Structure 1
Amino acid sequence: MFEIITSEYSYMHSLSVLVCHFMRSEALKETMTQTEHHHLFSNIGDILTVSTSFFEDLEKRHQENPQIPDISDIVEEHASNHFNPYVSYCSNEVYQQRTLQKLLTTNPLFKETLKQIERKPECGGLPMISFLILPMQRVTRLPLLLDTVCQKTKACTAAYGAATRALKAISKLVKNCNEGARAMERTEQMYTLQKQLEFGKKKPFPLISASRWLLKRGELYLLLSEELGIFRRGAGRLCYLFLFNDVLIITKKK
């Protein structure tokens, strides 16, 4: 329980470095568009607010009793009612990583400005990416700490019941974060494919859907014995297939 408190303090401090020295840097902001800035930092300010509130409640319990009788109720309350910004942040991960990579490879001014910030003593010699991934690391570490609390607590007691409820709440949050990230990744993939497909005279197929995702893609040699759209009668043709959960799209490469 003490480790949960101390690690939350360390995590909160690192988040404040990210917000104060990177996100709020006017020099860095001027090197990119507003959209790129949003994709890069997402709602990290909300994450810092959430962490600060969580730590304050944990620290208050510690001040009341240095032996810390229990903190499971605090974890359950925050995981259930206040940690939703984590879902948004983790869902944005695919855009965040793509945007950072693009800026580093195509924007020399951004790269140089970023290096100058990273040299600050407050950053401890760490690159910005190590700060950006902290929320994902934190949200996956908390269940491990809570699981240990459960193991160290005597079964069939009120404290054990509270610990298991807290573990359940934080595990549900992790699941929602993973599902959000997966859904966003699928949507991004659909969006990319939609731009690559050309339907010519055929009616364009509305590919992007929240309930659709790609299962498999690759080349196949099709032997066709009758007229089928873009292929000649009786011709064998090397095709590129996209198999989704609800539709199969047969294409040919340009």
Structure 2
Amino acid sequence: MRKIKESALLNAEEFDLIFDQIENIYDSNRNFFDSLQQRLNASKNLRFCDILLEHLRLMYPYYQKFFMKQIIAMEVLQNRLDSDKNFATLLREITSETRIHLPLVSYLIKPMQRITKYPLLLEKIYKNTPSSHPDYKDCQEALNFSKKICININEACRRMECFNKLDWIQRKVSFSKHRSLKLIDFNSETRFLGPRTLIRYGVLTKISSSSETLIGLLFNDFLMLIVPDRKQSKLSSINDIFKNKQAIETNYHLYRQPLLLNQFELMNNHQKSSNHSDEKLDSSSTHSSSRTFTIRLKEKDKLVTLKAQSPRDRTQWINDLHQAQQHYFAILNQMEQRKIGLQLSSLTLHQPIGNLFLTLEETVQIYTIEGIRFNRCSMPSGHRERLDKRFK
């Protein structure tokens, strides 16, 4: 770290991102080792799970912060290696000077390898520790806590990865041709499904008289198809758009207005007819390929046939679309039943005994021209002049 910092080949922001929490993780593990060494020197009847439990609780925040940034950090590191020959040469020199000659990337994945081993090791120790042993209870607690750490870190990483992908979509996809959709906030709450999540994404080809390569983005509330701004951008061979430099750096725009999950239906593979076609469909063998699937736009009663990258990819698209729609409709049905229940219960209410006046000052997800939100609800109540509640 010292040589890399002194070289000034990384700016301060890049250095802090790549090596974030590394010193804290090292120091906390060193303290753990020292505590174990002291216990070993002080007693022959070794107990150590109480020490492990104590230090796991101290280490956890450092590991969590480290893993939340690790994906971006690895991308930044790889980009610097690809674009800066001097930086790549420096890392090779540092690698050759180390005792075990491991590259920097290997050291940066060590924290993940270390923390995920604790549940496996503790599981074996716990199974072989008699219940009468003084370390038994602490071993059980340490095992449970280590599992909790791994679960929480995985969830935090998943959320951060989802946030970063939605943020990329926000920055890279233009809505200029659909001005009514310009202010969609991808990293926000949906209307009734909780936080917006990206379920599936990938390259799709629209089967028509002139085949077009698209990027499909399936969220938990709508399906969006986008195309690159530059026609020369070749995306058909890309497996993962978020791991491909060209795809990441490309700008996109909407192919068509996003489709809410209740605005289209998946068609049976054999339910294709020319009178429903969105455009004149190609009659070649590609049209009936095992890689294609069709959706019907309910409002226009038109078919759109899309080709996935492989038969397996097609199956996954169909499954994810089906499951997303099933969940979407289930929530809609619950809301409808709740609405009916409220209407029925209102029939048995007594006559009103008073009035409650509410002043709505701001509403969630309503933006000003500058894109600033101030959410506040004011409500006079009894002797209290105001009751303000901040909320998101």
Q: Would the TM-score normalized by the shorter structure come out above 0.5?
A: yes
Q: Does 1:74 align with 2:51?
A: yes
Aligned counterpart for 1:249 among listed residues 213, 216, 224: 224
Q: Secondary structure at the match of 2:174?
A: coil
**Aligned partners of 1:206 and 1:88: how far apart in 2?**
25
Give the corresponding residue for 2:143.
167
Q: Does 1:58 align with 2:36?
A: yes
Whether the 8 Å CA contact 1:88–1:180 is kept in 2: the answer is: no
Following TM superposition, by how much is the alpha carbon of 1:147 offset from its aligned partner in structure 2, in angstroms? 0.8
For structure 1, which segment, 59-68 or 90-99, has the greater mean C-alpha deviation from structure 2 after superposition?
59-68
Following TM superposition, by how much is the alpha carbon of 1:102 offset from its aligned partner in structure 2, in angstroms? 0.4
Which of the two has greater strand per residue? 2
Whether the 8 Å CA contact 2:25–2:59 is kept in 1: the answer is: no
Deviations 1:26-73 (A, max 9, x none): 5664111212112211110111111111111111111112451x2111
* 1:198-217 equivalences in 2 (<5 Å): 198-201=174-177, 202=179, 203-209=182-188, 211-217=195-201
Structure 2 regions of 5+ residues with no counterpart? 190-194, 230-392
Q: Does 1:45 align with 2:23?
A: yes
Following TM superposition, by how much is the alpha carbon of 1:87 offset from its aligned partner in structure 2, in angstroms? 0.6
Whether the 8 Å CA contact 2:95–2:101 is kept in 1: the answer is: yes
Whether the 8 Å CA contact 1:80–1:170 is kept in 2: the answer is: no
State the 4+ residue runs in structure 1 displaced beyond 6 angstroms.
none
Following TM superposition, by how much is the alpha carbon of 1:205 offset from its aligned partner in structure 2, in angstroms? 1.3
Following TM superposition, by how much is the alpha carbon of 1:146 offset from its aligned partner in structure 2, in angstroms? 0.8
Identity %: 27
Cα 1:48/1:240, change in 2 over 3 Å: closer
Whether the 8 Å CA contact 2:50–2:135 is kept in 1: the answer is: no
TM-score, scaled to structure 2: 0.51
Q: Secondary structure at the match of 1:243?
A: strand
Aligned counterpart for 2:155 among listed residues 171, 179, 186: 179
Following TM superposition, by how much is the alpha carbon of 1:83 offset from its aligned partner in structure 2, in angstroms? 2.7
Cα 1:93/1:238, change in 2 over 3 Å: closer
Give the corresponding residue for 2:116.
140
Deviations 1:176-204 (A, max 9, x none): 22122212211121122222211005123
Give the corresponding residue for 1:93.
70
Q: Secondary structure at the match of 1:92?
A: helix
Which of the two has greater helix per residue? 1
Give the corresponding residue for 2:82.
105
Following TM superposition, by how much is the alpha carbon of 1:175 offset from its aligned partner in structure 2, in angstroms? 1.4
Whether the 8 Å CA contact 1:50–1:83 is kept in 2: the answer is: no
**Aligned partners of 2:64 and 2:12: how far apart in 1?**
22
Whether the 8 Å CA contact 2:170–2:186 is kept in 1: the answer is: yes
Whether the 8 Å CA contact 1:222–1:238 is kept in 2: the answer is: no
* 1:7-46 equivalences in 2 (<5 Å): 23-26=1-4, 29-46=7-24
Cα 1:222/1:243, change in 2 over 3 Å: farther
User: How many residues get paired?
Assistant: 218
Cα 1:53/1:193, change in 2 over 3 Å: same
Q: Does 1:151 align with 2:130?
A: no
For structure 1, which segment, 179-188 or 75-84, has the greater mean C-alpha deviation from structure 2 after superposition?
75-84
TM-score, scaled to structure 1: 0.76
Cα 1:222/1:32, change in 2 over 3 Å: same
Q: Secondary structure at the match of 2:218?
A: strand
Higher relative contact order (CA 8 A, sep 6+): 1
Q: Which has the larger radius of gyration?
A: 2
**Aligned partners of 2:72 and 2:7: how far apart in 1?**
17
Following TM superposition, by how much is the alpha carbon of 1:208 offset from its aligned partner in structure 2, in angstroms? 2.4
